[in-house]
Amino acid sequence: MRMRPTLSWSPAEDLPPGTTELGPVVSALGSGGVLVLSGAGISTESGIPDYRGEGGSLSRHTPMTYQDFTASAQARRRYWARSHLGWRTFGRARPNAGHRAVAAFGRHGLLAGVITQNVDGLHQAAGSEGVVELHGSLGRVVCLSCGVFSPRRELARRLEEANAGFEPVAAGINPDGDADLTDEQVANFRVVPCADCGGILKPDVVFFGEAVPPSRVEHCRSLVRQAASLLVLGSSLTVMSGLRFVRQAAEAGTPVLIVNRDATRGDRHAVTRVALPLGTALTTAAGRLGIPVADEVTARAR
């Protein structure tokens, strides 16, 4: 059975309203032991759009599913053509103030860990360590036949060589690095196989319709159990992938705090939702704690 992505979630009318008061977030960070759970909203200030916010990509774009990717060579051609073009923009994205603030909190020993639903590598590029990439990373490629991993930049080089002159104009770039191209624009794109065994290559990300590895989920659950509080940054929590950790924390009596401009599916489990831009909110919180946030970060190779 093919699974389609969860496209929307309608908030209930009785959800508590958002606030601009950062006090509870500052207090939680000051006490330490904070587990960060981040979503696409933290990367929008780096030029990467989100899925479900205002103008989110799901209003115009249905992401590739695992079932479609594995079943159809045509679907893989479409995916890799669009992803290859998108990577040129996506791969140049740099950490923003929100990523840098999270890294600063970590350097000052305030965090119990960072779980991200994003596949962009920007937390690590900002200097955060031990980041759990819940949905994987676009910076890696895996062969579905032999299981060998390789850097995305290596695949990008091979695709450039196989598709000289491929310079279509995209209508937009999506959070999964996928560029909006028509079927006509991708019709002649050449997909390259695994260099080791000739098998099918897939980005090392969890597609819609694909399960997060159980060991990774359990690791995240362990982090939630050990955390003093859970701070959700820029996630609508529409899908269970992230919402389950919010529910776990709330059921255990661990305070859940959310920074997101729009209502989220986890609001009813949170002690507060701060409706401010993430860069502003997190740098302000850092300032109140006397923690400097670097103006610039030299991004690591991704």
The reply to whether 234 sits in an annotated binding site is yes
The reply to whether 182 sits in an annotated binding site is no
The angle subtended at Cα 286 by Cα 283 and Cα 288, nearest 5°, is: 115
Give the DSSP letter string of the chain: ---------PPPTTSPPPB---HHHHHHHHH--EEEEE-GGGGGGGT---SSSTT-GGGT--PPBHHHHHH-HHHHHHHHHHHHHHHHHHTT----HHHHHHHHHHHTT-EEEEEE--SS-HHHHHT--S-EETTEEEEEEEETTT--EEEHHHHHHHHHHHTTT--PPPS-B-TTS-B---HHHHTTPPPP--TTT---EEEEE--BTSPPPHHHHHHHHHHHHH-SEEEEES----SHHHHHHHHHHHHTT--EEEE-SS--TTGGG-SEEE-S-HHHHHHHHHHHTT----S---PPP-
The reply to whether 130 sits in an annotated binding site is no
The reply to whether 291 sits in an annotated binding site is no
The reply to whether 143 sits in an annotated binding site is yes
The reply to whether 39 sits in an annotated binding site is yes
The reply to whether 137 sits in an annotated binding site is no
Strands 111-116 and 132-133: parallel
The reply to whether 51 sits in an annotated binding site is yes
The reply to whether 30 sits in an annotated binding site is no
The reply to whether 184 sits in an annotated binding site is no
The reply to whether 43 sits in an annotated binding site is yes
135 is catalytic: yes
The reply to whether 67 sits in an annotated binding site is no
Spatial separation of the C-alpha atoms in residues 102 and 124, rounded to whole Å: 10
The reply to whether 42 sits in an annotated binding site is yes
Catalytic residue among 84, 123, 135, 269: 135
The reply to whether 253 sits in an annotated binding site is no
The reply to whether 46 sits in an annotated binding site is yes
Annotated binding residues for NAD(+), written as ranges, equal: 39-59, 117-120, 234-236, 278
Annotated binding residues, written as ranges, equal: 39-59, 117-120, 143, 146, 194, 197, 234-236, 278
So which residues are the catalytic ones? Answer: 135
Annotated binding residues for Zn(2+), written as ranges, equal: 143, 146, 194, 197
